[in-house]
Structure 1
Amino acid sequence: MTLQSMTTTVKTLAAASVLAVATATASFAGSAGYNYIIPGEQMELKTELSLNMVRASENGTVSVYDFTHGEKGALLGSTEVHAGANQDVKIMLNANAAQDAIIVLTTEDGTVPLATTTLKHL
């Protein structure tokens, strides 16, 4: 084998490795889920909750629950979101004394949770 053919073989193997990793990463990202919630800056949970981004694979509902005692409590508020990227989502909240909250993205009928996140010590 000549030096030139070895160089070509190494380049081909490197390119194939990069392609395999990129394909596996895209496949993992697709199977890991498309749904997530990015909270915004919160000072308190009194009247309104702001979320920077909610990404949903289908139309759904974002619900905010009291999580002060480490378990899902009373519903504080909710809003509908559409499939895709939802930026600057505002949720009006019922009067409450919550210090922690859990935010849940569910399917449109509310039966399947798609993503959750928590806010602590507000």
Structure 2
Amino acid sequence: MSLMHALLVALGLSVAGNAALGWAWVGAREKSATTLVERDNARAAASACSDATEDLRDLADKRGAEAKKAQAAARAAATGRQQAANAILSTPPAVPGNACGSAQVRVDGWLRGRAQP
């Protein structure tokens, strides 16, 4: 009986060892599958982020070009207004000795200039 008992114990240990190895293998396989899914999700998120970044870069370039045009137009308008202001400031009083009269002449001239298209 002792040989049979020893064989049964060895068989039981072998079955227990195989069961433990099987469970370990199943756990490793599930962990590997989860890792692959996480990797694929991370790649998809990174790709979406890259696409969105490229879209934002294109939009920024477009807005930058529009801003340069607007800045150029503003510079041109400012130059014209600065020249007009310099002309007004350098013009001697229209009515010497009468600041209100001179101001009225300037305002009338300015209003006439606004009425022209």
Structure with higher helix content: 2
For the pair shown, the structure with the greater C-alpha radius of gyration is 2
Q: Which structure would you say has the larger RCO, counting Cα contacts within 8 Å and 6 or more residues apart?
A: 1
Tell me, yes or no, whether TM beats 0.5: no
TM-score range, shorter chain: 0.3 to 0.5
TM-score normalised to structure 2 length: 0.37
